[in-house]
Amino acid sequence: MAIRAGFDSYRASPPDVRVVTSDGQSIAAHSYVLVSASPVLERMIDRARRGWGAECTIRVLGVSFDAVRALLHLLYRSKVAAEDDQIVGAHGAQLLALAHAYRVGWLKRAAEAAVSARLTPERAVDMLKLSRLCDAPRLYLRCARLAAKDFRAVELSEGWRFARRHDAALELELLKLMEDADQRKERWTREKAAQEACRQLGEAMTTLEHIFPGDVASICADAPCATVGCTCRGLQLLMRHFATCKRKAAPGGCARCKRMLQLFRLHASVCDRPDQTTCRVPLCSHFKAKAQADKADKTWRLLVKKVTRAKVMSSLVDRKIPEVVAVSWARYNSRVDKLR
């Protein structure tokens, strides 16, 4: 067995420490291995030792005999090898508690990762409390995300029922995590919708510049565009409606005409052409002069800033990546894959 092989390598020197577990069983160990691995075990051995060279006894309580045996095996190895994954996975929660109590940092990180990888909704509440007691933030975050994702299964677990009956603080904390997760999801949804709206407005500004370019001979406002993939036809129809609509001057106006006026105003705000001779978009100079006379409100300035940013980002997406950058990026990705 792998654990027995770890102990067998130290048979040359006689053990001088007896580790007693909760069920009364004992394991022989070497003090210099335990002292070098944990400062807490070092103090325990110093207090328990009665004389120089004498054998001493320390107690490791609260966990099973197999968990203590796995702890000693890993301390003798001073690392978690690939063949030890099964051992850490089988006793992950107990090893996490032991590593935290005896201040073995590398083992604590390995046990936390093992518990997080094998976490299920049935154990989410128990592991959440353990992560809080053992100061394991990654495991705490993993439990919170799992509870928010599959709260129905968490509600059916024994840990949740125990928390509702005996641990109101833990129940309140879990419900608060659920509320924060819902609020965060709603905020992300709103931000994503706002980014999509700004992207569409940026595309509309680009389409206006395509329909009314600086070159008069290339204007495509009255005929279908011959450019492959161009989506200016819908904006052409909207402008044709704006030119012939009789309701735009009536009380209440026309919703489609109001939308077109907003697009013209937004274009004037983001347009960087100096005068009407170079910008042929309708009403551009009118809205520019009006913007200089009347200061725009804060909301409109923020919208202009976001649309300008979305327009620039969309142009960068279509930009061809230089060969040097592509080679460097591929080399970086290969290094990341090797580290994983």
330 burial level (CB within 10 Å; 0-12, 13-18, 19+): exposed
Choose the weakest-confidence range: 136-150, 249-263, 273-287, 297-311.
Answer: 273-287
Residue 225 or residue 88, greater confidence: 88
> Is residue 217 scored above 60 in pLDDT?
no
**Total Cβ atoms within 10 A of residue 257:** 18
Please report the pLDDT score of residue 63 as a whole number: 93
Please report the pLDDT score of residue 318 as a whole number: 65
Please report the pLDDT score of residue 247 as a whole number: 82
Please report the pLDDT score of residue 237 as a whole number: 84
Q: Could you tell me the two tokens for 284?
A: 């551009």
Please report the pLDDT score of residue 230 as a whole number: 58
Residues 6+ away with beta carbon under 8 Å from 66: 90, 91
> Mean of the pLDDT values across residues 1-20?
66
Backbone angles phi, psi at 277, to 5 degrees: -70, -25
Query: From start to end of the chain, where are the E strands?
Result: 17-20, 26-29, 56-59
> Is residue 2 scored above 60 in pLDDT?
no
Please report the pLDDT score of residue 317 as a whole number: 67
Q: Which residue has the tokens 């009536």?
A: 250
The most confident of the ranges 27-31, 80-84, 225-229, 251-255 is 27-31
In the chain, the N- to C-terminal Cα span, in Å, equals 28
pTM (2 d.p.)? 0.60
Residue 68 or residue 325, greater confidence: 68
Choose the weakest-confidence range: 50-54, 56-60, 244-248.
Answer: 50-54
Bridge partners for 58 per DSSP: 19
Please report the pLDDT score of residue 50 as a whole number: 66
Model pLDDT for residues 263-275, shown as the tens digit of each residue: 888 888 888 776 6
Model pLDDT for residues 139-161, shown as the tens digit of each residue: 999 998 898 888 889 888 898 99
Please report the pLDDT score of residue 174 as a whole number: 85
The most confident of the ranges 23-32, 239-248, 254-263, 319-328 is 23-32
Q: What is the mean pLDDT of the chain?
A: 82
Choose the weakest-confidence range: 93-102, 205-214, 235-244.
Answer: 205-214
Please report the pLDDT score of residue 177 as a whole number: 85
Q: Which residue has the tokens 């402008």?
A: 239
> Is residue 189 scored above 80 in pLDDT?
yes
> Is residue 1 scored above 50 in pLDDT?
no
Model pLDDT for residues 275-288, shown as the tens digit of each residue: 655 677 888 888 88
The most confident of the ranges 39-43, 249-253, 287-291, 315-319 is 39-43
> Mean of the pLDDT values across residues 90-112?
94
Model pLDDT for residues 109-128, shown as the tens digit of each residue: 999 999 999 999 999 999 99
> Is residue 250 scored above 80 in pLDDT?
no
Bridge partners for 26 per DSSP: 20
> Is residue 11 scored above 60 in pLDDT?
no
Q: Which of 2, 55, 50, 47 is nearest to 27 (CA)?
A: 55
